[in-house]
């Protein structure tokens, strides 16, 4: 059936209980239902999952959803099962399943019960799975977190490079849907080329977050005091402070505590129990502040994070956008404050020293963009959006005055003089 023959609004309500599509969802859903290769670029929280879940539910056959993280797959499958009385509606296929579980999955797919099958890219290389999937009706293949295919993305995964060949083997004309929250033109180009879908219908949402205020301050030896002052001025509000190293996370969390701020540390060196406890304390508002490495944040959905502070500058604009994006999810205030010193850039460069040359070159180019952002005297929002290939009107655009440079214009040399080298 084509999209004009299906009442998609009715299906949206029936399966998900939503009255309206969000943003570009409706166009995406139609494109998929009409069997077009489709490329979806939407910021985190934009509602990408529904873009392929709804088509999968209304189409004949099973949709394969490629996703990099087992935990994310499990969440999605549980959510889908919650929408239906039928537990077979969605399955995960991966190496942790027992023989019997695999049998159930295959049975449900053959019967046409399973509308979505989540797989990790490495599972798809298994010959017996490919043989099986060739023998059943596949509606389309959705590739979530499609930036993993690109070395220019923040999470390159070589297994994603094999997808095009594997999908070809599954059948000649299976539509491919690629989805990502990475908006840089380079990554997008890589995705389309690597998947061989340069003809895809492309849907790109705006990455502008008008309620976020962007600020960069020079990082001096008094940075801890600066942070304490900021947090105290915002007392009672939730915030995240990112540091590069675990050691710094521990130290800063302690410094904050000593200064009467309720804060907990979070990094991958803590045991799972402590991590979970600290995360819960933050979510339940038993503490105001979490001091963390980038290990914190994936899938954290706290709507009222009021500030995100970077004690150390991150390795790319992409990372900065993702990390600051955790502020102001509810549309309310969100202050994004980064402390910048050029010597931190040199530190990051040193970390890359042992890596393969190609990786170093990419890392270096991404870092230089970060330097340019930190040192710019122009609208920071315009800078970020330009990086993502998006035009922004710095006078009338939504959120135009929400940054330090626009509020307090500086001449370029002054801005640079501020920076501690």
Binding site residues, ligand ADP, CB under 6 A: 18, 20-22, 25, 42, 44-50
292 contacts 249 by C-beta, under 8 angstroms: yes
Of 147 and 311, CB closest to ligand ADP: 147
Of 160, 164, 117, 157, nearest to 137 by C-alpha is 117
**What does the DSSP 8-state code read for residue 309?**
E
| Closest separation in Å from C-beta 155 to Mg ion | 13
Size of interface with Mg ion, in residues (CB under 5 A): 1
Of 216, 207, 184, 217, nearest to 382 by C-alpha is 207
Distance (Å, whole) CA 57 – CA 306 = 37
The crossing angle, in degrees rounded to 10, of helices 163-170 and 127-134 is 40
The binder of 381, among ligand ADP, Mg ion, none, by C-beta within 5 to 8 A per type, is none
Distance (Å, whole) CA 364 – CA 356 = 12
φ and ψ of 395, to 5 deg: -95, -50
Of 46 and 121, CB closest to ligand ADP: 46
Residues 219-238, interacting with Mg ion (CB under 5 A): none
Of 48 and 380, CB closest to Mg ion: 48
The binder of 45, among Mg ion, ligand ADP, none, by C-beta within 5 to 8 A per type, is ligand ADP
The binder of 405, among Mg ion, ligand ADP, none, by C-beta within 5 to 8 A per type, is none
Distance (Å, whole) CA 388 – CA 321 = 10
| Closest separation in Å from C-beta 129 to ligand ADP | 25
Of 248 and 302, CB closest to ligand ADP: 302
| Closest separation in Å from C-beta 43 to ligand ADP | 7
Of 18 and 342, CB closest to ligand ADP: 18
The binder of 42, among ligand ADP, Mg ion, none, by C-beta within 5 to 8 A per type, is ligand ADP
Of 142 and 362, CB closest to ligand ADP: 142
Q: Is 326 in the site for Mg ion (CB under 5 A)?
A: no
Distance (Å, whole) CA 357 – CA 401 = 40
Distance between terminal CA atoms of the chain?
63
Distance (Å, whole) CA 73 – CA 397 = 37
Distance (Å, whole) CA 93 – CA 63 = 13
Region for residue 47 given its phi and psi (left: phi exceeds 0; alpha: psi -120 to 50; beta: otherwise): left
Of 142 and 289, CB closest to ligand ADP: 142
373 contacts 366 by C-beta, under 8 angstroms: no
Beta strands in 53-187 (DSSP E): 62-66, 90-93, 116-119, 138-143, 176-180
| Closest separation in Å from C-beta 18 to ligand ADP | 4
| Closest separation in Å from C-beta 42 to Mg ion | 9
237 Cβ neighbours under 8 A, 6+ residues apart: 288, 306, 307
| Closest separation in Å from C-beta 231 to Mg ion | 31
Of 41 and 384, CB closest to ligand ADP: 41
Concatenating the DSSP letter of every residue in 218-246 gives E--TTHHHHHHHHHHHTTTSEEEEE-SSH
| Closest separation in Å from C-beta 100 to ligand ADP | 31
| Closest separation in Å from C-beta 301 to ligand ADP | 7
Of 48 and 335, CB closest to Mg ion: 48
The binder of 35, among ligand ADP, Mg ion, none, by C-beta within 5 to 8 A per type, is none
| Closest separation in Å from C-beta 189 to ligand ADP | 21
Q: Is 275 in the site for Mg ion (CB under 5 A)?
A: no
The binder of 21, among Mg ion, ligand ADP, none, by C-beta within 5 to 8 A per type, is ligand ADP
Q: Is 48 in the site for Mg ion (CB under 5 A)?
A: yes
Residues that bind Mg ion (CB under 5 A): 48
């Amino acid at each position: 059936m084509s999209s004009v023959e299906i009442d998609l609004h009715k299906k949206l309500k029936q399966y998900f209980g939503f009255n309206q599509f969000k943003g570009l969802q409706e166009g995406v859903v139609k494109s998929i239902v009409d069997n077009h290769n489709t490329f979806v670029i939407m910021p985190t929280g934009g509602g990408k999952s529904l873009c392929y879940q709804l088509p999968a539910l209304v189409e004949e056959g099973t949709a394969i959803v490629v996703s990099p993280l087992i935990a994310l797959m499990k969440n999605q499958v549980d959510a889908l099962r919650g929408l239906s009385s039928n537990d077979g509606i969605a399955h995960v296929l991966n190496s942790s399943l027992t023989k019997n579980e695999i049998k159930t999955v295959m049975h449900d797919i053959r019967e046409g019960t399973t509308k979505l099958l989540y797989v990790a890219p490495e599972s798809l290389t298994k010959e017996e799975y490919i043989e099986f999937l060739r023998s059943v009706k596949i509606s389309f293949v959705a590739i979530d977190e499609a930036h993993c295919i690109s070395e220019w993305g923040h999470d390159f995964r070589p297994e994603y490079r094999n997808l095009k060949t594997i999908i070809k083997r599954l059948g000649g004309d299976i539509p491919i849907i690629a989805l990502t929250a990475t908006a840089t033109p380079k990554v997008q180009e890589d995705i389309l080329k690597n998947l061989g879908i340069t003809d895809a219908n492309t849907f790109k949402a705006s990455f502008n977050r008008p309620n976020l205020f962007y600020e960069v301050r020079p990082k001096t030896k008094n940075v801890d005091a600066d942070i304490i002052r900021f947090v105290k001025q915002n007392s009672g509000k939730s915030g995240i402070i990112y540091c590069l190293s675990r050691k710094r996370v521990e130290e800063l969390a302690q410094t904050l505590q000593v200064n009467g701020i309720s804060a907990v540390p979070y990094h991958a060196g803590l045991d799972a129990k402590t991590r979970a406890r600290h995360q819960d304390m933050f979510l339940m508002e038993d503490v105001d502040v979490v001091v963390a490495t980038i290990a914190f944040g994936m899938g954290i959905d706290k709507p009222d994070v009021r500030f995100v502070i970077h004690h150390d500058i991150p390795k790319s604009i992409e990372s900065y956008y993702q990390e600051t994006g955790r502020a102001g999810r509810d549309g309310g205030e969100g202050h994004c404050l980064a402390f910048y010193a050029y010597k931190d850039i040199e530190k990051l460069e040193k970390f890359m020293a042992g890596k393969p040359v190609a990786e170093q070159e990419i890392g270096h180019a991404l870092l230089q963009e970060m330097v340019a952002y930190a040192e710019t005297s122009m609208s920071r929002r315009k800078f970020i959006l330009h990086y993502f290939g998006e035009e922004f009107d710095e006078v009338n655009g939504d959120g135009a005055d929400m940054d330090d440079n626009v509020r307090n214009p500086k001449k370029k040399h002054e801005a640079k003089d501020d920076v501690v080298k």
